[in-house]
């Protein structure tokens, strides 16, 4: 009497074994492939270029930069604009304290505040006047003349505010502070024009 085969279909295990072997081989093969390199991006001081595989439909974009000498000049004027904001804030603060009722500042402190604003405005104006734009950019030169004119008005207004404070009437001081604010707005307008003109020089440098 023959013994009973515990597995009447021994061949049914062959296919699963083959599949397991294929999966293992595929995993091993994939692990040996080199890492995919990312799309190349190149950035220089003159241009920013993004290059990708043309097969995926991505286009190459190149953006020109502002010439270094123009950017350095704009950076300097940006610092001047921030400096002016500080001077104006301090001048308005001491002026407001002087006009408060009841007054919240003593004479000597107020005088020191007006003198400080006068000195800083003078230094500010000198700095703007000597910070000439690079040669060869006519639009920048024209705008710089506007900046220097506004800076001169700021110097005069700060001086008049101090002189007006020391006078018998408060109105000359208030008028001078208002003139300072108007000159500050004039400087800000010229500065915005400068930034726009500088942006227009992109790609014109060496």
* Cα angle for residues 90, 94, 96 (degrees, 5° grid): 115
User: Any idea what the CATH number is for the domain that residue 155 is in?
Assistant: 1.20.1420
- pLDDT bin (cut points 50, 70, 90) of residue 203 is confident
pTM greater than the 0.75 cutoff? no
Element (H, E) at 151: helix 138-166
Q: Answer yes or no: is 103 within a domain.
A: yes
Instruction: Establish if 184 belongs to a structural domain.
Output: yes
| Number of domains comprising the chain | 1
In-domain check, residue 94: yes
Write out pLDDT tens, residues 69-106: 999 999 999 999 999 999 999 999 999 999 999 998 99
Domain annotation covers residue 83: yes
H or E element, residue 145: helix 138-166
Contact 163, 174 (CB under 8 A): no
- Residue 10 scores a pLDDT above 50: yes
- Mean pLDDT computed over every residue of the chain: 82
- How far apart (Å, rounded) are the C-alpha atoms in residues 75 and 104? 38
Supply the range of the domain harboring residue 95: 68-199
Cβ atoms of 92 and 173 within 8 Å: the answer is no
In a domain, 119, yes or no: yes
């Amino acid at each position: 009497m023959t013994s009973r085969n515990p597995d009447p279909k021994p061949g049914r295990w062959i296919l699963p074994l083959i599949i397991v072997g294929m999966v293992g081989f595929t995993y091993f093969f994939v692990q040996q492939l080199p890492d995919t390199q990312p799309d190349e991006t190149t950035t220089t001081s003159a241009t920013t270029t993004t290059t990708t595989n043309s097969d995926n439909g991505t286009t190459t974009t190149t953006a020109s930069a502002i010439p270094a000498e123009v950017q350095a000049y704009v950076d300097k004027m940006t610092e001047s604009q921030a400096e002016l904001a500080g001077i104006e804030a301090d001048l308005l603060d001491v002026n407001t304290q002087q006009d408060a009722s009841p007054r919240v500042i003593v004479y000597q402190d107020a005088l020191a505040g007006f003198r400080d604003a006068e000195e800083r405005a003078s230094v500010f104006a000198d700095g703007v006047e000597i910070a000439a734009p690079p040669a060869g950019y006519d639009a920048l030169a024209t705008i710089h003349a506007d900046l220097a004119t506004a800076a001169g008005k700021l110097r005069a207004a700060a001086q008049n505010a101090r002189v007006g404070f020391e006078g018998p009437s408060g109105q000359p001081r208030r008028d001078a502070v208002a003139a300072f604010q108007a000159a500050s707005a004039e400087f800000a307008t010229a500065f915005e024009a400068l930034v726009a003109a500088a942006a227009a020089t992109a790609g014109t440098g060496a």
